[in-house]
Amino acid sequence: MTSNHKFLPVLISLTLLALAGKAQVHYTYLKAAKMVFVTPAGAEESDNKDHDTKINIKIQGTYGFISSETLYNEDKEFANDGSKNEVKLNVRTATRPFIPKSEFVSGKITFKIIPEGDDTWIFKPTLMLEYSDGSRGKFVCDNNLKVSKDNPVATMNWGGHVEEK
């Protein structure tokens, strides 16, 4: 390469990056997601989710990719009184800014608590999804899940979401 052309690869790379930032996505993608937790009133062995217990929520989509990973570390108790608590989920990463709707046909959600001290929590999760075309999806766990200091991980398999308009 001559001295006039030594910056050409850098210029091409910068141009491609600028164009990528303005690129349009021509498929339906995940726009927003949240997990809704209900801790049943008076659940056995459940002393709620303590205010200082963190929750790691990892969603694997249809093809096994990690579609979302969120660490909820707000200082908030989830009481065992039947109330609902919502956690906004991360839906974009630097390597996957637009996750296609097709990845949300089935998959697995892993919940892991990081307690400070002893904590046992029984809950029923619901995954709420919103897509770029305005449609919505909802996956409801059929039964309660239980996590504790000694068994901090629970999983929920899901498939065939209920589509809402």
85-143: pLDDT as tens digits: 999 988 876 677 788 888 877 888 999 999 988 888 889 999 999 999 999 988 888 88
Single pTM value for the model = 0.76
Judged on CB neighbours under 10 Å (0-12, 13-18, 19+), 55 is buried
Q: Which domains does the chain have, with CATH numbers?
A: 32-164 (2.60.60.20)
Q: Measured between alpha carbons, how far is 128 from 63 in angstroms, rounded to an integer?
A: 19
